[in-house]
Structure 1
Amino acid sequence: MTSSSAGIVFGLTGAALLTVGTLAYQAFATAPAKLAGTQASAASSAPKAPRDKRHPKALPGRSGHGERVVYSLDDDRIWLVAPGDRVTRTFTVTPSSVDPEPGTYGVTSRSNRATGSDGTAIEHVVRFTSVEGVTIGFSAAVDGSSPTHDPAVKTGGIRESRPDGDALWEFATIGAKVVVIR
């Protein structure tokens, strides 16, 4: 190969790599959280989502759009939101000892049965992020109990009742959007 043909091959290879890299970056930057499977946005200083004081169970404003699970850290409440921003179910939960940051996430894994980090048998586990090595997700205790928090133990299980856990399990499949608000 002559030096001029080697230069052409080198130039074409560089151009191809630049093009592929640019396209990959654009695809990742515009992919919805449902496809990306990672945290799409988070803000530790996120303002509290506006609430309807007359209807405390009403879906808070600024909690996203489209089909999603909305989890309020301040209210310990979940809303299952169908297309058209129609709430199909809302319920209270027992929070974990480690909170996720407010933001938009995608469901990354699910388990029908498992053992919680507190040693409790749990079902319908729906995971969506981790914080400092602690996996965060929704689950229901098989025996129907609520966890008692030991401040020395970091847990990520947000517990719901078994009927609410069944509903969330059916609703939040892999890639489903989870919006965490204050």
Structure 2
Amino acid sequence: MAGTSSSIVAGLTAAAVGAIGLLAYQASATVPAGPGKAPASASPLAKVPRDRRNPLALPAMSGSGERVVYAMDDDRVWLVSDHNRVLRTFGVRPGSVDPLPGAYVVTSRSNAVTGTDGTPIEHVVRFTSVDGVTIGFSAAVDQNAAQVPDPMVRTGGIRETRADGEAMWMFATIGVPVIVMR
């Protein structure tokens, strides 16, 4: 009887270890490569055709489910619900460094900091970095300040109005997907 109990325990232990290994593998396949990196499954998105009758329409092939969609060529962002409904869309002013097209997730947030260009900013939502330059959405605290970018300063801040920045802040929490397209 003692030998049978040992065999059962050994079998259950082996099954549990195998199940944990499988779950660990599946989990690692869905984790982003790390801050500043696109997930391994992210493939560059080619420029997709826009709806010429409705230029504010969500771009085709931008994914599904809850996400932030950023179209670099249009300088436009869409906040999309988990039911694929556009909750808000707005124009943005990008920094001098663009992210690569692909799929990311929000990796960090700051309520208020100073941008790399020296501008006080708020509602900072970061999702990647390029060559050491952090890329994220933010709003300048003083919307009336002269905001002529210094061509000598490499910035990754994608600037939005304060109202749009607050909407982004409420929507884009840590882990929310960010889809970047041309």
Aligned equivalents of 1:72, 1:146: Cα separation in 2: 25
Q: Deviations over 1:70-127 (max 9, x none)?
A: 0011000000001221001000000110000001101000000000000000000000
In structure 1, the partner of 2:78 is 79
In structure 2, the partner of 1:117 is 116
* Structure 2 spans left out of the alignment, 5+ residues: 1-16
Aligned-pair identity (%): 62
In structure 1, the partner of 2:158 is 158
**TM-score of the two chains, using structure 2 as the length reference:** 0.81
In structure 2, the partner of 1:93 is 92
Q: Deviations over 1:21-65 (max 9, x none)?
A: 775443211x265xx765224445x31122110000000000111
Q: Deviations over 1:149-176 (max 9, x none)?
A: 2222110100000000000000000111
In structure 1, the partner of 2:59 is 60
Aligned equivalents of 1:100, 1:49: Cα separation in 2: 17
Aligned equivalents of 1:71, 1:111: Cα separation in 2: 20
> 1:146, 1:159 within 8 Å by CA — same for their partners in 2?
no
> Given residue 179 of structure 1, which amino acid in structure 2 is its aligned partner?
I
1:177 is displaced (CA, Å) by: 0.7
In structure 2, the partner of 1:5 is none
* Structure 1 spans left out of the alignment, 5+ residues: 1-16
In structure 2, the partner of 1:139 is 138
| SS of equivalent residue, structure 1 residue 96 | coil
